[in-house]
Amino acid sequence: MGFLADSLSRVKPSATLAVSQKARDLIAQGRSVISLGAGEPDFDTPDNIKAAAIAAIERGETKYTPVPGIPQLREAIVKKFKRENNLDYLPSQVIVGTGGKQILYNAFVATMNPGDEVIIPAPYWVSYPEMVALNGGTPVTVGTTQENNFKLQPADLEAAITPKTKWLIFNSPSNPSGAAYSHDELKALTDVLMKHPHVWVLTDDMYEHLCYGDFKFATPVEVEPELYDRTLTMNGVSKAYAMTGWRIGYAAGPLQLIKAMDMIQGQQTSGACSIAQWAAVEALEGPQDFITERAKIFEERRDLVVSMLNQAPGIDCPVPEGAFYVYPSCAGTIGKTAPSGKVIETDVDFVTELLETEGVAVVQGSAFGLGPNFRISYATSTEALEEACQRIQKFCASLR
């Protein structure tokens, strides 16, 4: 009998972290590599947020914090939900965790029984199905199509729901596709959910502030208030405020669920970092104008990348509404031969040969549950993106 838990056999390592590591390894060998694998803004944390953290240190805010978060941050989160999402919560309905991942994981620990099903639209963030599997649940992936802009269709959601369905995981704007659901598109999905009162909604709104053009963000409970008692709305400061390393995620939802997550976190990590929490208070309550300015830069990068990728032979790249990813199809390259002599049969082959030949690191779509595609993060400099896209064009042109 093996020493490690049987549940580990159901879990795959993170493909996005693996690509980033392979890129680092090649750079260490002296190769010129442009890594477009990480989902992390290249902007720095704003100065006022840093200053708030320094002030917290100088005030001696260095002790253990309450498990669900310091009162000041929970209050700031309540105000954020009211101000930006028209949602009413009490501070007791809010929990702060060490990043959004902990919020999601603890929600599953608190609710999952063996055999419970969780509907996950594909393409999906790589951690969703693994978290479900680790907690004894069954991930039920529901495919989307490029023709529908990678958005879950109401009929497909309806068909996936069974008596065993416990959660729908909903992510808009999406990692990896950048797809974002309009109010009307969301309403069509919430209408389905209203017919199935046993299905809860776990909505990941981490990219809320990264929407482009005239797109207006909406979250499920805002669209259908009757889902209030069975929705956990998760968000965080990592993407919009460029605070990935500060590790602060948060959620609001029904008191019964929040209390269960609080109990789990109390036995697991206790409260999140005190200094990071004070920084997050300033993020949510301080000036917000820089978010729009940075989103404009992301939008310009998106347009550049989409345009250049669509000039690469065999690549078809749709225009996403949000986040900082594009999810192009490489179907037009399948069956062709790379300069190395390797025949490209899958998106894994495509990204592997692209990295080896041209030194561009991207993540294969099959890691996100839908291929043949690949994900590019355009959260890096315009110069690096231009160079990377030129290399991709060159690679695609070299295929025979």
**pLDDT per position as a tens digit, 102-113:** 999 999 999 999
pLDDT value at residue 1: 61
Confidence at residue 18, expressed as pLDDT on a 0 to 100 scale: 77
Class assignment of domain 62-285?
alpha beta
Q: Would 6-44+290-398 and 62-285 be classified into the same CATH topology?
A: no
Alpha carbon distance 351, 25 (integer Å):
16
- DSSP H helical ranges for 137-176: 154-160
What are the pLDDT digits (tens) for 134-169?
A: 999 999 999 999 999 999 999 999 999 999 999 999
pLDDT at 90: 98
pLDDT digit string, tens, across residues 296-318: 999 999 999 999 999 999 999 99
> According to CATH, what is the number of the domain 6-44+290-398?
3.90.1150.10
Identify the CA nearest to 175 among candidates 206, 199, 197, 217. Answer: 206
Domain layout of the chain by residue ranges: 6-44+290-398, 62-285
Give the pLDDT mean for 195-217: 97
Q: Look at residue 20 and tell me whether its pLDDT is greater than 90.
A: no
CA dihedral sign of residues 161, 166, 170, 176: negative
Q: Is the pTM of this model over 0.85?
A: yes
Tell me, rounded to whole angstroms, the distance of Cα 397 from its chain centroid.
Answer: 32
